[in-house]
Chain A
Amino acid sequence: MTENYQSIGKGVIRKDAWEKAVGKALYTADLPVENLSYGVILRSPHHHARILEIDTSAAVRVPGVQAVITAEDIPGEKVFGPLIQDQPSLAWEVVRHLGEPVVLVIARSLKAAEQARESVKIRYQELEPVFDPLEAVQADAPQLHPDGNVVSEIHVGDGDPEIGFQEADVIVEKTFSLPRISPGYMEPEASLAVWEDDGTVTVWVSSQHPFTDQAAISAALNMPVDRVRVKGAVIGGAFGGKEDSSLAILAALGAWKIQGTVRLVNSRRESFLAHPKRHPAHIHYKLGARKDGTITAVQAEAYMDTGAYASYGPAVAMILTETMTGSYRVPHVRVDTFVVYTNSPLSGAMRGFGSPQTHFAVESALDMLAEKVELDPIQIREKNILHPGDQIFTKVTINDSALALTKCLQKGRELVEEFRAVPTPEGKLSGVGIALAAQSMGLGANVPDDSSHKLEWAPDGSVLIYLGSPDLGQGLAAAAEQITAESLGIPFDQVRSLPLDTLVTPNGNVTCASRMTYLVGNALVDASQKLIQALLKGAGRLLDIPADQLNYQNGMVLKPDGSEIPAVEFISRLAEDSITLEAESTFSFPYPEETTPQHLPIGMPHVLYCFGAQVVRVEVDPDLGTVEVTHLAAIHDVGKVINRLGVEGQIEGGVATGLGYALSETMLRKGESWVDSFTEYLLPTALDLPENYQTIILEVPETSGPYGAKGVGEIPLVPTAPAVANALYDAIQVRICDLPITPEKVLGLNKVS
């Protein structure tokens, strides 16, 4: 490669790492404030119950208590929700899940708030709960909402599966069950709201979309949006789970009620019970193929448990549906997906957004097919993978990114052979497995999918980025700074991202969907060009030379006579005249015209895909049923590396989350409650990592991306679980179809279905 980038592709050190390493980074719970009042939430002790009476009379008399707030105190909208406004900020009449907020207590001290919370008396009449989406769709199931328990359904197809299955010599048919997964970010949800003297409210959030919070607060408090200012504190991870509002609304409500300052911080238990999880799902998957291994048809039916409120369920269902043929060509397809209300804890957005669920089914089924037609796992995939120009069943044409699939399999074959050569210790059985993955980028056609960001050239020559979408911890700010530095030809250290503040920051839209490097990068490349034009215009005025006769390069203005003047000289002179050099740009995710609903069988198709593969070696103890992942190689196409450390970090962290999905994580119902702590919900630790791990980065340029870059946020966790399941089968010929893979299931001792 002949590229000679200054910032792009380097493993630059993100600037926020220093304050984080010394413990000085201020997360929402850390922000120092004066006259703080403490908010606590009284939550439903029942899965499903009618609220007969809320008696707050004793609570309000607790010394130090400032407000005891119920739904009827909310001056504006009492419900919120990103797609369907069905979730009460505070429940009234009915509670639909354990841990649902009912009463908000504000007090001068945490102790007083907790004491008052205990003094609130609520009479409930318990209602029958339903927890399984397959049961919830039955006619006699308890109904959670007036329009029934099916929130949304998708029925999409291409070709004729009946013909496809007739053409098939071999059929694989299985039901796969996927568990409830916590995003598991280390920082529980928190919000701090300050009621200002001028009648506005300032709210700090740990949120993926502060502008949604702003709108939700404005609606709940029935006050204009411009009187609500939302600021982003440092965020301790989000992974999709912080796309929904909730605490921000309640903190603002508390601040409004007492005309003071209120902080709310969820405990881990509250976070488990009340914030969105990865959807549990049942996927019935049927795959037909010719005896040479060519896939002829896929038919799938999926039931997703979205919990008591819709959250992002209907959108998750889209990607779950769209990825139902994985990375493969399938001529005849039928997918029916149902998003179902239950009395389970909320499910919503989580890293992967439906794709991890389907890939467990698709990639397990591919290996089952391989065995039936006597091909190896690489051969069956080589035979069926997508190639550039192929159209998938959503009528979306896959671009050159599909080249990555061929490369993934080439590399995958080498790794499979390498892992097979590893000796197996006595008493253990070993196996090697592979899985491919496809993950869409972007929100999907026909929903607003754009992102605005602003650059300002400060008089000292540094460039400030008003980053319109928050950095969740993944390093978005550093990528934005690198792209800006490269585009302006100035050093990385000279560019700095500012914390999000809805008062001054453009709306960059929600940080999610593997699209931020792509959207933010494209917007900043464009903003950089505009900034240069603004500079040349200003310089031209000062020099009395037409701007179009000036040029710019690497921080210097070039005059027609060939002499160079540092840009900072013009910027500081212009600042003296109160002229600020700034440029804003909006980048809209490009959706081809043919992706409009009338052309398509699905409402919001995703058109750009990321591809990857993972190869896993496991050692199984046949007596204990334990599965140890000894080797793992993650191969991912990122288009173009922006920050090498960041890309590796995304992949490594994603793999760990994928291993948790495969082997240990599940938020089970436990007696009358749910698993709600890290004591029983087992996130992988440093001891659970494969001893031999490698990241292999492919760079198949995405021509529409900044410097060729695309997203990598979600895909690294997608192929992990099926690769582990396939390796396990390779080792001991036990096919696990419900995650996580536990020793009991490996030994066939699992009593639960």
Chain B
Amino acid sequence: MKEIKVEFTLNGEKIALQSEPNRTLLDVLRQDLGLTGAKDACGGEGECGACTVIINGRPVNSCLVFIGQVEGQQVTTIEGITPQEGYHPIQKAFVEAGAVQCGYCTPGAVLATKALLDHHPRPSDQQIRAGLSGNLCRCTGYNKMLDAVHLVVKGEQND
């Protein structure tokens, strides 16, 4: 298949790449760009949220996005929210709350949380659950993820 040129903003930097148009953003991130923080857990069905990235402020399953669809868009991956030194407050909260076990779902859950808090800085419990409901986790039972979100929210209050 003939390759297309795609230009978009990835983690704050404009990039241009060549790809066959029928490839997913997840595949391009993992295979071409070496950004393996986004994971494939459900086989490209958009069921698990392990491949979550943020596109224009919204959490999106990158396995359901063809690379051509991100033309001109703002894409943020887990690598993009991690500061050069230290950690994003959500990452810190996930770690300190014990919300990280096997960790396979963690990058996706962290990004889903970021998208949630960007839109709802003071989410209700129900909003947190709904915000994380697209991210499957078999290890934690989600309790400590909810704790983590509360930690982040509290941290902001202290600022």
Contacts and interface: CB of A to CB of B under 8 A. Distances in A.
B105 A186 contact: yes
- The A contact surface, by secondary structure, is loop
Given A23-B77, A678-B136, A648 B82 contact: no
Interface stretch (B65-73, B89-97, B150-158): B89-97
B102 A683 contact: no
B25 to A, nearest CB: 15
Given A17-B103, A473-B139, A652-B144, A268 B132 contact: no
A20 B137 CA distance: 14
B141 A16 contact: no
B22 to A, nearest CB: 11
Q: Chain B: interface residue count, which band?
A: 35 or more
A18 interface: yes
B43 A653 contact: no
A16 B141 CA distance: 19
A24 B37 contact: yes
Contact of B78 (A22, A268, A652, A691): A22
A649 B144 contact: yes
B2 to A, nearest CB: 14
B48 A13 contact: no
- The B contact surface, by secondary structure, is loop
B142 A689 contact: yes
Contacts of A645: 97-98, 144
A646 interface: yes
Contacts of A236: 39, 41, 102-104
Contacts of A677: 42-43, 45, 47
Of B92, B110, B129, B138, the most chain A CB neighbours within 10 A belong to B138
Interface in A207-240: 234-237, 239
Contact of B43 (A22, A25, A184, A269): A269
Given A653-B140, A689-B142, A23 B37 contact: yes
A238 to B, nearest CB: 8
B107 interface: yes
A648 B38 CA distance: 27
Sorted from nearest, which 4 A-B pairs have the closest CB atoms? Answer: A23-B37, A473-B102, A20-B103, A236-B104
A183 B39 CA distance: 18
Contacts, number: 180
Contact of A679 (B45, B130, B145): B45
A41 B26 CA distance: 22
Nearest to B77: A23
Given A24-B37, A474-B139, A678-B48, A16 B103 contact: yes
Given A23-B38, A472-B102, 5 more contacts: A17-B100, A21-B103, A22-B37, A652-B141, A655-B141
Interface of B: 30, 34-43, 45, 47-48, 50, 77-79, 82, 87, 91-92, 94-98, 100-107, 110, 125, 128-130, 132-146
Contacts of B97: 645
Interface string A626-652: 000000000000000000011011001
A9 to B, nearest CB: 14
A421 interface: no
Interface in A268-286: 268-269
Contacts of B94: 17, 21
A342 to B, nearest CB: 25
B104 A21 contact: no
A11 interface: yes
Contacts of A648: 98, 143-144
B85 to A, nearest CB: 11
Contacts of B136: 184, 186, 678, 683, 685
B104 A22 contact: no
Given A23-B82, A186-B39, A652-B143, A687 B130 contact: yes
